[in-house]
């Protein structure tokens, strides 16, 4: 999500202006929901003259649904830390402060949902090439995750992100100025034994049989 959209959120937040680690400072809110919040932050790295723009995801501490999301955020950390692909959001670090988990991730310019809202519906067949490339890149990331044993379970326009392409693409892959990133692995399906081990360490029970996902985007089965 771009900087121009930040003003639409209430920035009276206790985390804004604080540091969650020695090198990451929270600047403003990008988005907020019933269970979680995403912040724009700056990471200060040795050797760089300017701080690096990053996104930070954490719990909505005022939400009664926070405990359920606590489980999901640890699940997301476990999945994203094992997935390294140019079409999957990169997790930079996982931090705990006062018992609350934070995921520091690469920053993207806009979500696919907002991108589609801003774009006009193509009037000619050739104008669909950009959307086709976005879809193709999403499938590259999804296919990689599946091969690694991770089932996302919540593919929606809000969980697909677009940023300026700073990576050289491989032969046969779409050569775009924009790079598509698959994100939000909080509902990911992982190996059952690994899931039990992960969540039991944090004091949670598994929720394998729970109906999950965004209603309008769930698969029929």
Q: Where are the domains of the chain?
A: 3-217
State both tokens at 191: 């190996």
Backbone φ, ψ for residue 55 (5° rounding):
-110, 145
- Residue of 160 and 201 predicted with greater confidence: 160
What is the separation of C-alpha 27 from the centre of its chain, rounded to a whole number of angstroms?
18
d(CA 153, CA 186): 9
Question: In 3D, which of 49, 61, 50 has the Cα closest to residue 20?
Answer: 61
pLDDT at 209 over 80: no
* Confidence category of residue 43, pLDDT binned at 50, 70, 90: very high
The pLDDT of residue 98? 81
- C-alpha distances (whole Å) from 8 to each of 2, 31, 118 are 12, 9, 16
The pLDDT of residue 65? 55
Instruction: Indicate the burial class of 177 (C-beta count within 10 angstroms; 0-12, 13-18, 19 or more).
Output: exposed
Backbone φ, ψ for residue 44 (5° rounding):
-100, 110
What is the separation of C-alpha 201 from the centre of its chain, rounded to a whole number of angstroms?
23
The pLDDT of residue 152? 86
Percent of the chain at pLDDT above 70? 66
Backbone φ, ψ for residue 56 (5° rounding):
-125, 125
Q: What is the mean pLDDT of residues 35-39?
A: 84
The pLDDT of residue 13? 78
If you ran DSSP here, which 8-state letter would residue 191 be given? -
pLDDT at 104 over 90: yes
* Confidence category of residue 49, pLDDT binned at 50, 70, 90: confident
Which CATH number describes the domain made up of 3-217?
1.10.510.10
Q: What is the mean pLDDT of residues 125-133?
A: 76
The pLDDT of residue 154? 86
If you ran DSSP here, which 8-state letter would residue 65 be given? T
| pTM higher than the cut 0.85 | no
SS3 category, 198: helix
């Amino acid at each position: 999500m771009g900087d121009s959209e930040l003003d639409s959120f209430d920035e009276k937040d206790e985390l804004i202006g604080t540091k969650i680690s020695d090198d990451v400072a929270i600047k403003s809110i990008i988005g907020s929901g019933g269970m979680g919040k995403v912040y724009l932050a700056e990471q200060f790295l040795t050797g760089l003259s300017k701080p690096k723009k990053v996104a930070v995801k954490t719990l909505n501490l005022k939400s009664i649904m926070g405990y359920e999301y606590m489980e999901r955020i640890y699940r997301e950390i476990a999945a994203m830390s094992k997935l390294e692909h140019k079409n999957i959001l990169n997790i930079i670090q996982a931090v705990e402060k006062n018992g609350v988990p934070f995921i520091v991730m690469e920053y993207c310019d806009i979500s696919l949902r907002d991108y589609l809202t801003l774009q006009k519906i193509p009037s000619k067949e050739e104008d669909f090439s950009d959307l086709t490339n976005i879809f193709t890149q999403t499938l590259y990331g999804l296919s990689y995750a599946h091969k690694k044993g991770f089932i996302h379970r919540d593919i929606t326009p809000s969980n697909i992100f677009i940023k300026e392409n700073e990576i050289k693409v491989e032969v046969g892959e779409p050569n775009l100025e924009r790079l598509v990133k698959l994100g939000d692995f909080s509902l990911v399906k992982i190996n059952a034994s690994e899931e039990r081990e992960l969540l039991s360490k944090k004091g949670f029970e598994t929720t394998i049989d729970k109906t999950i996902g965004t209603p309008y985007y769930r698969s029929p089965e």
